[in-house]
Structures are given as C-alpha cells and as structure tokens.
A and B are shown apart, each in its own frame.
Chain A
Amino acid sequence: MDNEWPLWEVFIRSKQGLDHKHAGSLHAADAQMAIENARDVYTRRMEGVSIWVVESKNIHASNPDEAASFYEPANDKPYRHPTFYDLPDEVRHM
C-alpha cells in the first residue's frame, strides 16, 4: 500500500439557484475520478445538480484557536442588525 490517492473535498449544489455546500470528502486519482466518485457516493438519491471537487491540500482555513479574537470585531456592532433600531408602532413596511 504505497501511494494513496489524494483526498478531495466535495461540494454539491442540491438545486439550481442554491449555493454549493460541503458534502464530505473522498479519495481519487484525479479530478475527473473525484467527480465521478462524488456522484456515486453523495448523489445516489438525486441530492445534486452540480458537483465541485477541490483537492483538500488546496483548502486554507482559519485557525479555530484564534476564533475568539478573529471574529471579535463584529461583536460590538449590534447596529448592523435591524433589531437594533426602535421604531414607532405606526411605521409600516420597514
């Protein structure tokens, strides 16, 4: 068992008009095989109309250990949310 096929991340669009969503991962020799395997593994019940595959080594991720400080800047800006504003009751359609 010498050379393991590379790992691929699979993203599936479940319906026209929706985003591709991460479905899982699999091993394949190349991109075409990864797409074919993804069809067999992740869309046996018509769960998809489009598949993306990305070799896992090409995915760069944020560091979970720094999550607190990394997302902190959004924490003190409640005024970005509509619920921050008190409107008089008589205001309609806003």
Chain B
Amino acid sequence: MQNEEQIFLEKIDQEIKIEPRDWMPDAYRKTLIRQMSQHAHSEIVGMLPEGAWITRAPTLKRKAILIAKVQDEAGHGLYLYAGTETLNIGREEMIDQLLTGKAKYSSIFNYPTLTWADIGAIGWLVDGAAIMNQVPLCRCSFGPYSRAMIRICKEESFHQRQGFDILLTLSRGSNAQREMAQDAINRWWWPSVMMFGPNDDNSPHSAQSMAWKIKRFSNDELRQKFIDMCADQAKVLELTLPDKKLQWNEKRKHYDFGEINWHEFWNVVNGHGPCNKERMAARISAHENGAWVREAADAHAKKRRAREQQVA
C-alpha cells in the first residue's frame, strides 16, 4: 500500500499522467468524480439558458451559430461524462445525482437570459471565464480529464468570440441596442466573476487539488486574470463593467476590483437563485420525457440483433 502511494506521488511529481487503471488514492478518485461530474452537469444544464434563444435569434446566421454552440456544449458534457466513467461510476448514477440534487452544477446557469444581448454576454463572459478555468485543466494529472479538456478548449474559443461579436454589433448599433448590451453586461458581470469560486482562504479543498496537480492555479489567481482580460476587452466594446472600484494598479500590474457579494454566491449555490428550480425541472422533464426514446432504441437494437442471428 505504502509502495503504491509512493509510485503514485512520484508520477504526480514527474508530471506523468495517471490513467484509469493505475493505482490512485481513494480521495483522489473521489475528488475527480465530484469535480468531473459537476463539470459535465454544468455543460448540460448550461445549454438551457442559451437554448431559450435559439428560436428567437435575430438572424439565420446567428441562429445557426447558436445551435452549433449549444450542440458543442452537449458534446462537452458527453466527453466529461465518458471521462468520469473511467473512474468506475456509472452514467446513470451520475445523472441520478444531478436530478436528485445530490450533485451541483455551476451556479452561473441559474440566472435568466432576458434579452438577445444576454447571449452575447454569456459567450463573452461566461465562456470566457470557463476558458480561463479550463485551459490549465488541460494539464490536469488525470489523463482522461486532461484529454477531454484539450478537446473542449479547442472548441471553446469560438464560443467566446461569437459572444463578443454579438456585443460588438449591438454596441455599434442603435441606442436601444447599446443599452441592451450594457444591461446584459451589468447583470452577467458579477456572477461571472463568482464563477471562479470562493476566495482562496475560503476554499478548503484547493490545496490538496493543487498538490495532486488537478488544479494548477488558485481561484483568486484565475479570477484576477479574467478581470484583467475583460477590463481591456470592454474598452474595445466601448461598454463598461459595473464596478466603480475597477482600476488599473500600476504597482500590482493588475486591475483592482470591488467587493464580491458572497452572500449572493452562497444563496445561489444553495438553491435560491432566480432559476434553480426552473433548470432542475427542465432537466427532469427532459429525462422523463426521453425515457420512451431510450426504450424504443433498445427494443429496436434487440430486434435487429435477433434478425441478424436468424439470417446467420
């Protein structure tokens, strides 16, 4: 036992990936199952706020782009579920954990998409924050997670760009369109900043995840990078971020920013966001109403197998 743990730690130390059938500590496995399955759930639930605008996209081009983006998110969910299954947890068990509320998904998806500009803000800010989180995960010590993240990151950059493109178009449009874009940014900014999770001194599992090289940067480091990136990009959009304390700090070479409302963060995490109930209801109904499709496919496969056997 001692020996296996040592081999594991040496691999981590030498940046050798851990693969599913390698020995790993139980806690490492559990941490990954929790993190990867919650990541998968987030991709799947994340389709809902944007999916709501597919039928209302302003042009055929925007509609086609949005469909492609939402379909990518479904793919991301599948890569991650498949990766998590290599840790010996069944797909059904994971889905069950989501639908019974045992597993969480990213709180950002518990906010509503009120206007078309929200689709722009989600692409720019929410996918932007996701990319910031996901790029270092490409180097995660667990092979299947790392490979899934590499695939995902390749696809994500178009998500952020199409969002920025929507906002840029609105910002350069009529006054009403500009206001719509600004309003969307005002509502999505702080929830996006919160996507990086609690401050480092309030993030109990972080140190272990960093030691295991699941995580490479702390929550606050990634949050700062994200804020620096957006503060500059907002200037190109000629729109503002809703933070009066946002200011370049020459000494730190970073933007200073205002106080995060952690009360709101924990409130949404604990199920009291504007759309928590709606999102769960939508997932449960999709799962229940899709049951007959799964059964029919199964029956069809059985029938075909029987027919093939008859011929043989």
In the complex, what residue of chain A is closest to B21 when comparing beta carbons? A64
**CB distance B78 to A44 under 8 Å?**
no
A29 and B151 CA atoms in complex are apart in Å by 25
- Give the interface size bracket for B toward A: 20 to 34
Cβ-based interface call for B297 (8 A): yes
**CB distance A29 to B85 under 8 Å?**
no
Residues B261-309 near A (CB distance < 8 A)? 294, 297-298, 300-301, 304-305
In the complex, what residue of chain B is closest to A61 when comparing beta carbons? B21
Interface of B is mostly: helix
**CB distance A7 to B85 under 8 Å?**
yes
Cβ-based interface call for A27 (8 A): yes
Cβ-based interface call for B75 (8 A): yes
Residues of A in contact, count (CB < 8 Å): 21
Residue picked from B83, B147, B298, most chain A C-beta under 10 Å: B298
With a cutoff of 8 Å between Cβ atoms, the chain A residues found around residue B83 in the complex are 24
**CB distance A24 to B148 under 8 Å?**
yes
**CB distance B95 to A1 under 8 Å?**
yes
Contact of A1 among B72, B92, B304 (CB under 8 A): B92
Using CB atoms and an 8 Å cutoff, list the residues of chain A in contact with chain B: 1, 3-5, 7, 24-27, 29-30, 32-33, 40-41, 44-45, 61, 63-65
In the complex, given contacts A3-B298, A41-B75, what are 16 additional A-B residue pairs having Cβ atoms less than 8 angstroms apart?
Answer: A4-B90, A4-B91, A5-B294, A7-B85, A24-B83, A24-B151, A29-B298, A30-B301, A33-B297, A40-B71, A40-B75, A41-B78, A44-B68, A44-B71, A44-B75, A64-B19
